[in-house]
Structure 1
Amino acid sequence: MKDDQTSIIQETIGMGTWHMGDEPVKEQAEIEALKVGIDGGLIVIDTAEMYGEGAAETLVGKAIAGYTRSDLYLISKVYPWHASTTELPQALDRSLERLGTDYVDLYLLHWPGDIPLAETVAAMEAAKAAGKIRNWGVSNFDVSQMQALMQVSDGSHCAANQVLYNLGARGIEYDLIPWLQEADIPLIAYSPIAQGDSRGNHFRNDPLLKSMAEQKGISVFQLLLAWTIRNGQTLAIPQTSDAQHMIQNIEAKQIRFSAAELEQIDARFLPPTKKQPLEVI
Structure 2
Amino acid sequence: MLKLKDGSSIAKIGQGTWKMGENPNSRESEIKALKKGLELGMTLIDTAEMYGDGRTESLIGEAITEYPRQKLYLVSKVYPFHAGKGKIFDSCDASLKRLGTDYLDMYLLHWRGNIPLSETVACLEELVKRGKIRRWGVSNFDLSDMEELLTVQNGENCAINQVLYHLGSRGIEYDLLPWQQEKGIPVMAYCPLAQAGNLKCALKNSTGLEEIAQKHGATIYQVLLSFVLANENVVAIPKASKASHVKDNYEAVKIILDEQDIKRLNMEFPPPKRKVPLDIE
Normalised TM-score (structure 1): 0.97
Give the C-alpha shift of residue 22 in structure 1. Answer: 0.3
Matched to 2:93, the amino acid is D
Matched to 2:76, the amino acid is S
Structure 2 residue corresponding to 1:2, chosen from 1, 5, 16: 5
Q: Is structure 2 residue 56 aligned with structure 1 residue 53?
A: no
1:119 counterpart SS class: helix
Tell me the equivalent position of 1:30: 30
Query: What are the ranges of 5 or more consecutive residues in structure 2 without an aligned counterpart?
Result: none
2:74 counterpart SS class: strand
Hey, what's the Cα distance between the residues in 2 that align with 1:260 and 1:220? Answer: 16
- Determine if contact 2:197/2:203 at 8 Å carries over to the other structure: no
Tell me the equivalent position of 1:123: 123
Give the C-alpha shift of residue 198 in structure 1. Answer: 2.9
Please list the CA deviations of residues 121-155 of structure 1 after superposition, one character each: whole Å capped at 9, or x if unmatched.
Answer: 01000000000000000000011000100010000
Hey, what's the Cα distance between the residues in 2 that align with 1:246 and 1:202? Answer: 23
Q: How does 1:1-150 map to 2 (within 5 A)?
A: 1-5=4-8, 7-8=9-10, 11-150=11-150
Give the C-alpha shift of residue 4 in structure 1. Answer: 4.7
Hey, what's the Cα distance between the residues in 2 that align with 1:275 and 1:202? Answer: 22
Aligned residues between the structures: 278
Q: Is structure 2 residue 190 aligned with structure 1 residue 187?
A: no
Hey, what's the Cα distance between the residues in 2 that align with 1:55 and 1:266? Answer: 39
2:248 counterpart SS class: helix
- Aligned Cα root-mean-square deviation (Å): 1.1
Q: How does 1:119-268 map to 2 (within 5 A)?
A: 119-195=119-195, 198-268=198-268
Please list the CA deviations of residues 29-52 of structure 1 after superposition, one character each: whole Å capped at 9, or x if unmatched.
Answer: 100000000110101000000000
1:252 counterpart SS class: helix
- Determine if contact 1:193/1:200 at 8 Å carries over to the other structure: no
Hey, what's the Cα distance between the residues in 1 that align with 2:7 and 2:23? Answer: 35
- Determine if contact 1:229/1:235 at 8 Å carries over to the other structure: yes
Hey, what's the Cα distance between the residues in 1 that align with 2:199 and 2:71? Answer: 35
- Determine if contact 2:37/2:247 at 8 Å carries over to the other structure: yes
1:104 counterpart SS class: coil
Distance change >3 Å, CA 242–CA 200, structure 1 → 2:
farther
Hey, what's the Cα distance between the residues in 2 that align with 1:124 and 1:101? Answer: 18
Please list the CA deviations of residues 237-279 of structure 1 after superposition, one character each: whole Å capped at 9, or x if unmatched.
Answer: 0101010000000001111011111111111111001111111
1:168 counterpart SS class: coil
Give the C-alpha shift of residue 114 in structure 1. Answer: 0.1
Please list the CA deviations of residues 177-201 of structure 1 after superposition, one character each: whole Å capped at 9, or x if unmatched.
Answer: 0110011001100000100663454
Give the C-alpha shift of residue 3 in structure 1. Answer: 2.0
Hey, what's the Cα distance between the residues in 2 that align with 1:214 and 1:169? Answer: 23
